[in-house]
Amino acid sequence: MQKAKPKHTLLFTVVFLSIGIGVIIAFNATKPQDQQVHGESIAYHHHAMLGYYLNGQKQVVPANIGIGIDNGLGPAGMFPVHTHDASGTIHIESKQAGLQLSFIQFTDVWGLDLSDKRASLFVNGALVDYKNYYFNNGDRLRLEVVD
């Protein structure tokens, strides 16, 4: 009977230590999430490149597409899909992890109406349906429009 007591004490010590360590790990794991909710943290920041051709002529993709249009999901004062310069670099940035952004959302915010034109979108060399394309980090896009 007397031999059993120290074993129980050891067992309780191990259990309490495990719970304590578990609580510390769980508390630390929730910290970064709290900071993301209350701050301006961006969940991801991806880039794609766009070359735009109208009737075979290379066009400039304007700078500042989506700047000044804030739907609450992008960086402050920016639509989640935007440009900063006229290099053709498209920035895809969201506060919401896993949010998928489409080419149509980009052309809408750009003000580029493709509905009455023949438009072909090539992504990394392959023709895709531009109405069903969602941006992936590092994609290279070529938009060919015929009036």
Which residues make Cβ contacts (< 8 Å) with residue 23, sequence separation at least 6? none
Which among 10-18, 48-56, 62-70, 85-93 is the span making contact with Zn ion, rule CB under 5 A? Answer: 85-93
Contact indicator for 139, 123 with CB cutoff of 8 Å: yes
Contact 48, 93 (CB under 8 A): no
Helix (H, G, I), strand (E, B) or coil at 35: helix
Nearest partner of 92 among 140, 49, 132, 135, judged by Cα: 135
* Candidate segments 48-56, 73-81, 84-92, 121-129, binder of Zn ion by CB under 5 A: 84-92
- Establish if 91 lies at the interface with Zn ion (CB under 5 A): yes
Cβ-based nearer residue to Zn ion, 18 or 96: 96
String marking each residue 55-74 x if it binds Zn ion according to CB under 5 A: --------------------
Residues 100, 68 contacting (CB under 8 angstroms): no
Q: Least separation, in Å, of the C-beta of 22 and Zn ion?
A: 39
CB of 67 to Zn ion, least distance (A): 12
Q: By the criterion CB under 5 A, which residues form the site for Zn ion? A: 91
